[in-house]
Structure 1
């Protein structure tokens, strides 16, 4: 079981490329917090992750109102703001801009991405930045969001970056002609690049890092996660899990908790609720059927656990989730 892919599917990760920016220094582009523009950008998404990919040149990137200094971003690198905080791309560190909120909306009569030219010195170095968002569920349980730093700055590995860049250039060229399917192509490519950046981030973590993503590469913790994700409906006990991995119960409990932050059985219970929530949202199963599918022997026990984690009974939560989302007013982007 590929645990990372399993989580990305269960939290309904979907991408969108919004801006294709061609900039020459001096320039600065400030993006607003994603919670400010989420309703217009992604409708009913619970959470938006912002990302930028630099395909040529270099620039500086930093989070607004964060103490960390700006970082230099080079061609072939991706930066991810997992919490969706306001951020800045600029030709020099320390520059500040003003986000233009009118640029953030889902176009009806045209396709994404919006092309933006930031014209500085005509003789200055040029950089190209592809910017977008990844929508996902925050709850009932998203272990990835809880374990990522606020900003992930990761180079995409050389072999993968070559063909990804070729695909990205092809998709952006198609967007110039508004070819059929190009927006969907860009969306899927952004998801793929996000996954590759996460893999690079995980591989580069220091050996003493303790988090859910670091646990994926640990032998015992990774094995426990793969077993629970691959066979989530089984009536696992800590003893059975430890026996299959080949370590003692106490060692597994201690090691798993040090990485993931909760004991194995607590993690399994929360993951089952995440899967059950997706089944409930599909509308094809009853509450009792969803409970049984994820391993609950009792519907009442499932109802109690779901309400404790989510704050509402399963049926109430599903009706709220499936209710139509009111349309958001949108306008056209103003000139740069």
Structure 2
């Protein structure tokens, strides 16, 4: 039984969340996002990608990437900046703001989460926000990030009856009551919220849309992706994937390449390297064991393929060395893609 490709990806790229700020504001107000480099080390040291989110719990506001058009956000909606581009949340789309100073971020990171920011002078609140972050690995291969737009806004058509409405209720309750474990609860809630936003985005994609998320929506490609994620060490061929995905070899190869953006065997090679990079970064498993776990019959074959595709050898990656842009190769030969021992299906 194949697993869930989206869940598997989120685990492998180490998705983790943190809720940093509870903001109460009074018109006119504006808040600018801090630089990702000041937040990432506090959420997931070693990660290289930051996602920002803002849940509007009360009122109405505007969200905009600096230099781009503003988006209206209503109470009960969440806006996600998938690349954490510099952005401003404000009561008016024309207002400007400076990023938080380093001392504010240090105090916030050292305090119980969320850190409360009060921009109200006379007790009249015009907007309330819970703002947080998600961190993950972008390198060497995170097809989800490549498939997402810069900004996603989501909300419940059912009001509080939908999942996001329930999330907001729970988040507001945790912020207000400050019970033991609330920081952990808010962190996990932010991760669940992000998955729900992704589901909604996938459901909203037009039929002609391409990309990794569009592949998840195609039942045959979803099955092929799940099989690759579930059994990366298997000695996969396009024929074997096609058979288990209920498609002909030709149709699977053409559809996979057109929608996902690369041939199935190329995807398999990149996914194996993503798993390897995560194991190298987070554990003490020796390189020979990692090679076997992802389908390589020898440490030498794995090391050659890793260095060619990623740009640095596995031993260097383990030490935190990251390749210069363009140093790796997106192409892989058939022997580098599938030099596996007999499949353990």
Structure 2 match to 1:62: 64
| CA distance in structure 2 between the aligned counterparts of 1:279 and 1:212, rounded to whole angstroms | 23
Change (3 A) 1:191 1:130: same
Structure 1: unaligned runs, 5 residues or longer: 322-336
TM-score, normalisation: structure 2: 0.85
Structure 1 match to 2:163: 160
> Size of the alignment, in residue pairs?
315
Structure 2 match to 1:95: 95
Structure 2 match to 1:173: 176
Contact kept, 8 Å, 2:108 with 2:115, in 1: the verdict is no
| CA distance in structure 2 between the aligned counterparts of 1:261 and 1:232, rounded to whole angstroms | 19
Does the residue aligned with 2:133 lie in a helix, a strand or coil? strand
- Shift in Å at residue 185 of structure 1? 1.4
**Which aligned runs of 4 or more in structure 1 are off by greater than 3 angstroms?**
35-43, 105-109, 120-123
| CA distance in structure 2 between the aligned counterparts of 1:236 and 1:108, rounded to whole angstroms | 46
Structure 2: unaligned runs, 5 residues or longer: 322-345
Structure 1 match to 2:276: 276
Does the residue aligned with 1:55 lie in a helix, a strand or coil? strand
- Shift in Å at residue 288 of structure 1? 0.7
| CA distance in structure 1 between the aligned counterparts of 2:48 and 2:67, rounded to whole angstroms | 23
Does the residue aligned with 1:215 lie in a helix, a strand or coil? helix
Structure 2 match to 1:264: 264
Structure 2 match to 1:246: 246
- Shift in Å at residue 312 of structure 1? 1.4
Higher relative contact order (CA 8 A, sep 6+): 1
1:45 to 44, 47, 58: 47
2:10 to 8, 31, 37: 8
- Shift in Å at residue 162 of structure 1? 3.5
TM-score, normalisation: structure 1: 0.87
Change (3 A) 1:149 1:251: same
Contact kept, 8 Å, 1:56 with 1:127, in 2: the verdict is yes
Structure 2 match to 1:334: none
- Shift in Å at residue 297 of structure 1? 1.7
Once the two structures are superposed, the pairs formed by residues 76-95 of structure 1 within 5 Å of their partners are 76-95=76-95
Listed one character per residue, the Cα deviations across residues 162-210 of structure 1 (whole Å, up to 9, x for unaligned) are: 43223212221243xxx43221111111111111111111111111111
Once the two structures are superposed, the pairs formed by residues 11-30 of structure 1 within 5 Å of their partners are 11-30=13-32
Structure 1 match to 2:138: 138
- Shift in Å at residue 225 of structure 1? 0.8
- Shift in Å at residue 137 of structure 1? 0.8
Q: CA RMSD in A?
A: 2.1
